[in-house]
Amino acid sequence: MAEATLTVSRAAARATLRVAGRSAPRLSRVLGPALTHPHFLRRLGAACVHPSQAPSRAFFWSHTKGGDGDGKGDGKGDGNGSNKKNADEKTQGAATEAAKQKAESAAAELAEEAEGASLPVPLANVGGGLRKDSPAFQPNLMVLPLQRRPLFPGQQQIMHITNEEVLKALRTMEKSGQPLFVGAFLLRNADALAEAQGPLEELDEDEQTTPGSSQKSQLEAFHGIDNPVDAVYNVGTRARILQVLPFARPSPDGVRLDGIQVLLQGYELISLQRLLTKGPPVQVEAKKLDLSEGENSKDDTTRAYVNETMHTIREIMKVNPQFREHAAMIHHGLERLEKGDPHAIAHFAASLTTATGAELMSVLETEKPAEKLRIALELLKKELDLSHLQVKLATQIEEKVSSRQREYMLREQLKMIKKELGEDKSDGTDKLLEKFKANMEGKEVPKDVQEAIDQEMEKFANLAKESQEYQMTRNYLEWLTQMPWGAHTTDTLSLSKAREILDRDHYGLNEVKERIQELIAVGALKGSVQGKILCLVGPPGVGKTSIGRSVAEALGREFYRFSVGGLYDVAEIKGHRRTYVGAMPGKIIQALKKVQSSNPLILVDEVDKIGRGHQGDPASALLELLDPSQNYSFVDHYLDVPVDCSRVLFLCTANVTDTIPGPLLDRMEVIRLSGYDLQEKVKIAEEYLVPNSMFEMGLWDNTHERTDQSNKGNIEEATSEFVEEVPEETPNKEVSAPPEDLASKAAIQTEAIESLIRWYCRESGVRNLQKHVEKICRKLATRLVEFKEKVNGSAEVTPETESVDLVVTEKNLKDFVGKPLFLSDRLYDEELPVGTVTGLAWTSMGGSVLYIEAVGMPRPTSAKGSTPSLKVTGQLGNVMQESSQIALLNARRQVAVRAPEGRQAYFEDHDVHIHCPEGATPKDGPSAGVTMTTSMLSLALDRPPRRDLAMTGEISLNGKVLPVGGIKEKTIAARRAGCHALVFPEANQRDFDELPDYLRDGLEVHFAKTYDDVFKVAFPED
């Protein structure tokens, strides 16, 4: 037979030599240079026992689990031994000792050769063919299953046997004196069978369990297989057992389990005919495959396959370094195979590959030489491609490792050179560089930013500490490396949770809450909340600033606030150039560094009060930042690298939109916040302002529940909702409680709060209301302390020391806050005089009543026929003065149609004077157009309008009533003034319908499309 090849496994060889001890030379003498093969023996799990532990009998067959040499193998041993036994032991010992000495050098050579990686080497020609005394082919064979790869003729393979029945059968065959031949067949589904039975032939060195410790792991017994014939391939190899070694490994319970390790050598191919006994052991009838016809086939195709196969093997030897190390031995095998038959060449070629068992079986099962060579050649080509890839990967890794080692060596040399030159960076530069690199770990840095950082770090490494640029570069690197590149928080996309947080912290503000819920709903559908620019516009004190933190909490984002009120330097937004002393990035970069998140909520406060100076226009600088189509690459002057701000949620606040530049306002989504009415202010005061002021002044202690103030100190947090109810009114009677318990009796009645709001705090917000509540609480604290001092210093009980009144009522409210600031909402309690009409106005403080007074003065006879004159006073703005001119034209048109005879020329005969009371207050706007027209008509017709009527609306030159703003504030002002009949433009009906029911109830509202509709309401036909 031609020589086959095996791959020497370094780890397996070392394990065998280490564990086997003095038995290793005997094993090496048999195996030669091929101890193991990674495909025939995956890992050598079992170990040969040391001679001190091995059985002392002449042959291993009698060694059983007890390991005590009881002689059960021949049935004659009694456990103590006999004379014949002792003689056999002496003979065996002498022979073994001689064999050990003879094979010692071979084992040493084997150990040196096994130190190489897994590589193909030719087998020693041990038992290459049948011995002369071998019997003829016997069809009845014992089956030993192979788990991973088949056994090719001429090759050797090691396997373990632990099944007791199989061991007995092999012992019986050995006693016959004939060579031990078995049938080696590859299992069809070895992986599934191994999972069901446990590991076989794949034991780690450190494993403490033994294969065969249970019946499941004895694969040679075919446990769990109904039909062994169906479990193996039909074609196998007739193999001879060349060497047998015992092994024993301790199990966890301390019991030793023994078996044998056999060395098989393939002789010829056989095919399985039928099953004789199911065993164990399994006995089958086999038939020798006749390949003589194929061996004589010498056609051109076969020769071409042979030549290509040999060429491919040589190519693999050139590429694969493992083959190259033993090129001489492989060449020796190739020279012998070139004159051999095609089957042997195909088997040799297939054995060199790392193909699967099924692919290798396709080579064995094929009988035609050309087809067999074709399949083997395909496997070789795959192996050649794999070798090329392996070499490529190894080269890449080598180059990478070599470059790193070279860089390391050069850096070490550079350090030594700098140290010799006195430029050693032991001053902290290296630590700073390590700190910068640590800051960048785990961040997704954009490519252009990473390039800038690398350049600056390289420059920083070569700067002297005394250099002026050293500190500038250090600061720049600190900013660059501490930015949250790629870091962001996960948005909370729960509508219910967001609504709960917003309702907890703020009362009202439904417009803002609905917009935030819409933002979350869209984010829930898309998977993330994109950056938006919202602008909250409303009067002071309504909670614009404080709601920003609640929105951030509802979204699960970080929060940062900065104000641009009075800002005049564009560098505050865009940052300074690094060349300036004390240069810093802009507010946006500072915010991102502070919160360490790329998607925070940034509140830009007082955006309507931004300034403009000789150092630039900050409002124009905000255009890039607040533009969704540009802020994905916002460039700060200091960093000078693009920063993605597209995921930032910007929330701006303003009192009015008139002073916001048009381009900037166009980039923001405006949400208008109206002021609070009386009912809302009362609820806010009772649930938040009063309890918190009582706690702050020390009047209430921990026995009273207090709301969680997440934003304590922010006055606009006055919109936050407080759960604990205000204590009920305490009766004004003697207090029997001790003085220290009197503080808990302090309270402000609801009627007192309503009076405080009506006559002292009429503004839209609650900031002034909070100041007055705190003033009342301070007065109560002063009264309580004075009472305690009187009680402690007086020995007699007097009316002054019996009790103290700590309850604020509507009657004693003026004792705490002084006289009312507003005496009445009406200038005229009785009927309105002719020419006077009640109008409604909106201011930054909320809604108010605006009276328009018109008086006509007869013109001199000499002035009649000239253009009528109109004079306006009351500090009216340009827009309002123009409205008065339009109102005069409309009034003249109406007089011409509706005035009785004798009064149709009223405006030609009289000079008209219009005045708006409270002349110190500037007034402007077009919404007083219908009010002025009605006032002049009342004067011309000499008819007073309805007493309870209030109106608002802009009037056009053709008498159209145009829509105005501030409907809610104007409605509140009308109710406060006792006006139950209102006239609004028809286009504002939608705004009025959105008002709460308690604001609309009891009002007579008319919606006018033209001034004729207003006239019918103002001057009804009685």
pLDDT, tens digit, 9 for 90 and up, residues 229-239 = 777 888 888 88
Cα separation, 64 vs 60, in Å, equals 9
Average pLDDT in the chain: 75
- Residue of 258, 290, 289, 285 whose CA lies nearest to 274: 285
Among the residue ranges 61-65, 816-820, 902-906, the one predicted with the least confidence is 61-65
Q: How confident is the model at residue 155 (pLDDT cuts 50, 70, 90)?
A: confident
Question: What percentage of the chain has pLDDT greater than the value 70?
Answer: 72
Over residues 369-397, the mean pLDDT reads 85
Cα separation, 513 vs 497, in Å, equals 12
Is the separation of the CB atoms in 726 and 691 below 8 Å? Answer: yes
Identify the pLDDT of residue 845.
64
Identify the pLDDT of residue 201.
40
Taking residue 179's Cβ as centre, other Cβ atoms within 10 Å add up to: 17
434 versus 50: the higher-pLDDT residue is 434
Identify the pLDDT of residue 773.
94
927 is catalytic: yes
Q: How confident is the model at residue 130 (pLDDT cuts 50, 70, 90)?
A: very low
Is the separation of the CB atoms in 746 and 783 below 8 Å? Answer: no
Over residues 235-256, the mean pLDDT reads 75
For the whole model, what pTM was predicted?
A: 0.53
- Residue of 158, 281, 274, 169 whose CA lies nearest to 223: 281
Residue carrying the six token digits 């507003």: 822
Instruction: Give the burial class of 538: count Cβ atoms within 10 A of its Cβ; 0-12 exposed, 13-18 middle, 19 or more buried.
Output: buried
**In the 8-state DSSP scheme, what is residue 688?**
I
Is the separation of the CB atoms in 828 and 946 below 8 Å? Answer: no
Query: Helices (H), strands (E): how many in the chain?
Result: 36, 26
Over residues 50-66, the mean pLDDT reads 35
Fill in the amino acid letter for 899: A
Is the separation of the CB atoms in 984 and 1007 below 8 Å? Answer: yes
180 versus 59: the higher-pLDDT residue is 180
Q: Which residues contact 990 (CB under 8 A, 6 or more apart)?
A: none
Q: Which residues contact 534 (CB under 8 A, 6 or more apart)?
A: 515, 649, 650, 651, 652, 668, 669, 671
Among the residue ranges 25-34, 162-171, 647-656, the one predicted with the least confidence is 25-34
912-941 pLDDT, tens digit each: 999 998 877 888 889 999 999 999 999 999
303-343 pLDDT, tens digit each: 888 888 888 888 888 887 666 655 555 666 665 565 567 88
Identify the pLDDT of residue 104.
44
Over residues 264-284, the mean pLDDT reads 84
Cα separation, 820 vs 228, in Å, equals 108
Strands (E), 585-646: 601-605, 634-635, 642-643
Range among 216-225, 311-320, 766-775 rated most confident: 766-775
Cα separation, 457 vs 442, in Å, equals 18
- Residue of 357, 240, 226, 379 whose CA lies nearest to 309: 379
Cα separation, 770 vs 546, in Å, equals 15
The catalytically annotated residue of 85, 681, 968, 970 is: 970
Is the separation of the CB atoms in 254 and 236 below 8 Å? Answer: no
Identify the pLDDT of residue 94.
47
Identify the pLDDT of residue 422.
64
Cα separation, 741 vs 699, in Å, equals 10
Q: Tokens for 830?
A: 């009785």
Over residues 185-213, the mean pLDDT reads 50
404 versus 697: the higher-pLDDT residue is 697
Over residues 885-901, the mean pLDDT reads 89
Q: How confident is the model at residue 482 (pLDDT cuts 50, 70, 90)?
A: very high
Starting at the edge strand that comes first in sequence, how are the strands of the sheet with 559-563 ordered?
559-563, 601-605, 649-654, 533-537, 669-672
Q: How confident is the model at residue 483 (pLDDT cuts 50, 70, 90)?
A: very high
Identify the pLDDT of residue 836.
92
Is the separation of the CB atoms in 2 and 81 below 8 Å? Answer: no
Over residues 339-354, the mean pLDDT reads 79
Over residues 494-519, the mean pLDDT reads 86
Task: Provide the CA 321 distance to its chain's centre, in angstroms.
Answer: 46
Q: Tokens for 973?
A: 């002002």
Strand 649-654 to 642-643 pairing: unpaired
Q: How confident is the model at residue 900 (pLDDT cuts 50, 70, 90)?
A: confident
pLDDT exceeds cutoff 80 at 523: yes
Question: Half-sphere exposure of residue 451, counting CA atoms within 13 Å on the CB side?
Answer: 5
Q: Compute CA distances 198 → 215, 305, 310, 343, 358, whole Å.
A: 9, 42, 40, 35, 21
Q: Compute CA distances 873 → 876, 917, 921, whole Å.
A: 7, 9, 11
Q: Tokens for 731?
A: 């009766």
Cα separation, 203 vs 259, in Å, equals 14
852-862 pLDDT, tens digit each: 999 998 887 76
Cα separation, 522 vs 526, in Å, equals 6
Residue carrying the six token digits 């016997």: 138
714 versus 545: the higher-pLDDT residue is 545
- Residue of 701, 821, 804 whose CA lies nearest to 758: 821
pLDDT exceeds cutoff 80 at 839: yes
pLDDT exceeds cutoff 70 at 205: no
709 versus 409: the higher-pLDDT residue is 409
Over residues 455-462, the mean pLDDT reads 88
Cα separation, 39 vs 120, in Å, equals 12
556-574 pLDDT, tens digit each: 899 999 999 888 888 889 9
The catalytically annotated residue of 927, 935, 938, 968 is: 927
**In the 8-state DSSP scheme, what is residue 59?**
S
Identify the pLDDT of residue 700.
84
Identify the pLDDT of residue 650.
92
Residue 79, classed as helix, strand or coil, is coil
SS3 of 499-524: the string is HHHHHHHCCCCHHHHHHHHHHHHHHH
Write phi, then psi, for 881 (nearest 5 degrees): -65, -40
Identify the pLDDT of residue 213.
36
Cα separation, 194 vs 220, in Å, equals 12
Cis upstream peptide for 985 (omega within 30°): no
- Residue of 18, 452, 6, 463 whose CA lies nearest to 264: 6
Q: Which residues contact 605 (CB under 8 A, 6 or more apart)?
A: 545, 561, 562, 563, 564, 565, 652, 653
Identify the pLDDT of residue 771.
92
Q: Which residues contact 964 (CB under 8 A, 6 or more apart)?
A: 842, 925, 926, 927, 952, 953, 954, 985, 988
Range among 72-81, 428-437, 480-489 rated most confident: 480-489
Is the separation of the CB atoms in 8 and 110 below 8 Å? Answer: no
149 versus 735: the higher-pLDDT residue is 149
pLDDT exceeds cutoff 50 at 188: yes
726-760 pLDDT, tens digit each: 333 333 333 333 445 666 788 899 999 999 988 88
pLDDT exceeds cutoff 90 at 702: no
pLDDT exceeds cutoff 50 at 95: no
Q: Compute CA distances 943 → 102, 833, 936, 1015, whole Å.
A: 142, 9, 10, 12
Among the residue ranges 27-36, 257-266, 334-343, 540-549, the one predicted with the least confidence is 27-36
584-597 pLDDT, tens digit each: 999 999 999 999 99
Identify the pLDDT of residue 16.
38
H or E segment at 447? helix 447-461
